[in-house]
Copies of this chain bind each other. A is one copy, B any other.
Amino acid sequence: MKSFPRIFALLIPIWVSIAALAFPAAAQTDPLPSWNDGASKQAILDFVARVTAEGGPDYVAPAERIATFDNDGTLWAEQPLYFQVLFAIDRAKALAPQHPEWTDKEPFASLLKGDIKGALAGGEHAIVELVAATHSDMTTEEFNKIVKDWLATARHPKTQRQYTEMAYQPMLELLAFLRSSGFKTFIVTGGGIEFVRAFAEDTYGVPPEQVVGSAGKTQFELRDGKPVLMKEPGVDFIDDKAGKPVGIQRHIGRRPIAAFGNSDGDLQMLQWTCTGSGLRFCLYVHHTDGEREWTYDRQSNIGRLDEGLNQAAADGWTVVDMKKDWKRVFGFEK
């Protein structure tokens, strides 16, 4: 027993080194290295510090730390067209031999002649036609494989990179930082839920059960005696604009305390998030970098940010100036 104090003294450095292993220098390392120092980065860091400060006035229990992210234009790029539309175009071309009737049926006729602008001149109706023809009449598992195969081979028309490489590096860091701060991160996308699930886990670290999105009808049936879930052509849910808070309630069942978007399609999600009680955080990604990415906002047909900019200014939401606030946009930049 004589040696007890000595053993005890020995324990101290051991415990310290164990603690260091378990919490690798979290305080000293910048969790957002691709963000330039400035108001946007500081606002994120302050919010997270306040809601995680136990005993502090803004503390939020981990179960309530729900953060929701739009996908197109918020987590990955969305120009020159939503990537899912580019996928649908490639699928339509691949399926064309089985559909001789498409040669004189829009939007397929223009599309097969290489006239994408003409094909999409029909607006939302053309896109619904295109998605219905390319996203249904197969099982959910078959669709998942088709998307994965496409993502593994297709290249973005401008950068020639894989689409998943066009995720924004600063946003990947933000997702990881929130999760390491006890947040549950959800994607709430106007895009198709099954399309986004096919890469969300690998690309964003977001599991399928944390993806909310637009959805077609699905039917349970027996095929050759085996249960399958068939994707049907009809639309079940549009997770955009006022649909986003509805999708959030349906899937998550609690109000987020932080929400991230880039367009007017995200406005209601941000309104819903930032009018709850307690400390809240709303952020818009503003596409201001025509060199590294694209420049667009109030006049754009894709990712229009007009009303949202007004409300962000009025309510003091954080607006990320991509050009100024982001050290890197994509991970593949040197």
Write the A4-15 contact mask toward B (1 if CB under 8 angstroms, else 0): 000100110010
Interface: A271 (CB within 8 A)? yes
The answer to whether A252 and B209 have CB atoms under 8 Å apart is yes
By secondary structure, the A interface counts as helix
Chain B nearest CB from A82 CB (Å) reads 20
Interface: A53 (CB within 8 A)? no
Interface size class of A (residues with CB under 8 A): 35 or more
The answer to whether B249 and A207 have CB atoms under 8 Å apart is no
Q: Which residues of B contact A252 (CB under 8 A)?
A: 208-209
Interface: A211 (CB within 8 A)? yes
Interface: A197 (CB within 8 A)? yes
The answer to whether A229 and B245 have CB atoms under 8 Å apart is yes
The answer to whether A251 and B251 have CB atoms under 8 Å apart is yes
Interface: A218 (CB within 8 A)? yes
In angstroms, Cα B252 to Cα A227, docked, is 17
In angstroms, Cα B147 to Cα A183, docked, is 27
Q: Which residues of B contact A66 (CB under 8 A)?
A: 209
Instruction: Pick the most buried of A194, A209, A271: most chain B CB atoms within 10 A of its CB.
Output: A209
The answer to whether B250 and A215 have CB atoms under 8 Å apart is yes
The answer to whether B140 and A249 have CB atoms under 8 Å apart is yes
Write the A187-219 contact mask toward B (1 if CB under 8 angstroms, else 0): 000000110010001000001111100010011
Interface: A292 (CB within 8 A)? no
Q: Which residues of B contact A246 (CB under 8 A)?
A: 218-220, 229
Interface: A43 (CB within 8 A)? no
Chain B nearest CB from A164 CB (Å) reads 18
Interface: A39 (CB within 8 A)? no
Considering the complex, give the chain B residue whose CB is closest to the CB of A197: B253
The answer to whether B209 and A253 have CB atoms under 8 Å apart is yes
| Also in contact, A220 and B208, with CB within 8 A (given A193-B253, A226-B275) | no
Considering the complex, give the chain B residue whose CB is closest to the CB of A229: B249
Interface: A268 (CB within 8 A)? yes
Q: Which residues of B contact A215 (CB under 8 A)?
A: 250
Chain B nearest CB from A321 CB (Å) reads 27
The answer to whether B250 and A207 have CB atoms under 8 Å apart is no
Q: Of B14, B208, B245, which one neighbours A14 at CB under 8 angstroms?
A: B14
In angstroms, Cα B11 to Cα A14, docked, is 8
